[in-house]
Amino acid sequence: MMIPLKVEKRLAPSRTAGFLVPFISLLLALVFGGVILLVAGANPLTTYKAMFLGAFGSKYSLSETMVKAIPLMLCGLGVSIAFRMLFWNIGAEGQLAVGGIAAAGVALFWADGLPEALLLPTMFVASFVAGALWGLVPALLKAFIRVNEIITTLMMNYIAILWVEYLFYGPWKDPAGYGFPGTAQFPEAAWLPRLPGTRVHLGLTFGIVAAVFIWLVMGRTKWGYEIRVIGENPRAASYAGISLMRNIILVMILSGGLAGLAGMAEVSGISHRLQKGLTVGYGYTAIIVAWLGKLNPWGVLLVAILLAGLLVGGDQIQITMQLPAAVALILQGAILFFMLGGELFTRYRLRLEWMPAEQALSPPPIGGRGSEP
C-alpha cells in the first residue's frame, strides 16, 4: 500500500456514510472545480452563484433545467438497468441518436399516410424499437460470443452519430433550408405537447412512467429478481438456472429502447426537426446519472434534474461570463470521482496503518491479557 491506510470491511454498509457521502462528494467536487476556475482566472464563488441561479433561479431557468432533465432521465434509467446486471451499456448516446432518426423518419415521411392522432404514438414506438435494435447488436454479440460490450456499445455511438450527420447533411436535408444542416420542420401533429409558456414537454411523463415501470419490475417481478441476482453474483445466477443470454437481450431491449425514447423526446419535443445538436453528450452524462443515483429509479430521476441543472448552469456562464460550458462536464466528472472514492467509507472502515490495529482486530488470546481489565 502506497499510503499507510488500513482498510477493514464493515459487516453491513454504513447508513450514515451512505447518506453523507453524496453530499460530501458534491462539496469536494465544487472545491476541486473551484481550484480549476481560480487557475483559469475566474472567481469560483461568483461562477457557482451564476450557475446555480442560471439553473434554478427563475421559472424560466427551472423549466430549462427540466427540459435537459428529460433525456437524462430516460437515458439514465436505461443505462442503470443494464448496469444493474453489470452489462456496461456505454451506448446510450448512439441509442438516443437512432431513436431520434426513427422519430424524424416517421414524422417526415409517414405524416401524410397516418391519421394525426396516430402520428405521435407511431413515432414513440419507432424510436423505442430503433434504440432497442441499436442496443441489441452489442447485446447479441455479448450473449453469444462474449464480445466486450463496453467497446461495441461505444463504437456504435460514433456510427449512430455519423448516420445522423449523413441524413441531415444528405438525403434528408431540408431543400428549402438555405443549406442549413437539418431536415425540414415536422408537421405540428408530430410535436410533443408542451407545458404552456415553457419548453417542458410530454417527454417528462415518459421519464416518470419509465421510473415507475423499472421500480415495479425490479422490486416486484421474477425478471427483476433475476437481474439483481446476475448483478450481485453471476455464478450463483447460473447455478440457479437463470439464463444470462436471455436477460442480456431483454435488458438491452429495454435499456436501448428507453434511450431511443430520449431521442424522440429531443426531436419531437424540442427541435421539431433532426439537426446538429441532437447528440450533445446526454448518453454519457447518463452514466454519471445512473451511478450517482445508485442505479435506483427514484435516485436516477433526482440526479437527472440536478445534473441537468449543472448543464444549464454551464450554458449560462458561457453566455454571461464567457466561461466555457465545459465547466459543467469537469464538475460532473469530479463528482463521480469523489463519489467513487467515498463509497469506500460506506463499505469499509479506515484507519492509518501505524495505529495499533492488533487489539481491535484479533480476539484476545484465551487466558491471556484479554481476561484482565
Q: Looking at this protein, which amino acid is placed at residue 342? A: G
Query: Of all helices (H) and strands (E), which one includes residue 149?
Result: helix 149-169
Shortest distance (Å) from residue 125 CB to another protein: 27
CA pair distance 286, 350, nearest whole angstrom: 31
Q: Which of 86, 114, 80, 119 is nearest to 103 (CA)?
A: 119
C-alpha cell of 262? 430520449
Shortest distance (Å) from residue 363 CB to another protein: 8
Shortest distance (Å) from residue 163 CB to another protein: 7
Nearer to another protein, 8 or 116 (CB): 8
CA pair distance 85, 335, nearest whole angstrom: 23
Shortest distance (Å) from residue 198 CB to another protein: 28
Shortest distance (Å) from residue 2 CB to another protein: 6
Nearer to another protein, 130 or 331 (CB): 331
How crowded is residue 9: how many other Cβ atoms within 10 Å of its Cβ? 7
Q: Looking at this protein, which amino acid is placed at residue 110? A: W
Nearer to another protein, 120 or 230 (CB): 230
CA pair distance 290, 88, nearest whole angstrom: 12
Nearer to another protein, 149 or 226 (CB): 149
Q: Which of 165, 171, 179, 102 is nearest to 133 (CA)?
A: 102
Nearer to another protein, 36 or 111 (CB): 36
How many residues does the structure list for the chain? 373
Query: Do 156 and 255 touch, CB atoms closer than 8 A?
Result: no
C-alpha cell of 137? 447488436
Chain contacts with another protein (rule: CB under 8 A): 1-3, 5, 7, 36, 40-41, 88, 90, 141, 145-148, 150-152, 154-156, 158-159, 162-163, 165-166, 169-170, 284-285, 287-288, 291, 324, 326-330, 332-334, 336-337, 340-341, 343-344, 348, 361-363
Shortest distance (Å) from residue 170 CB to another protein: 6
Nearer to another protein, 183 or 268 (CB): 183
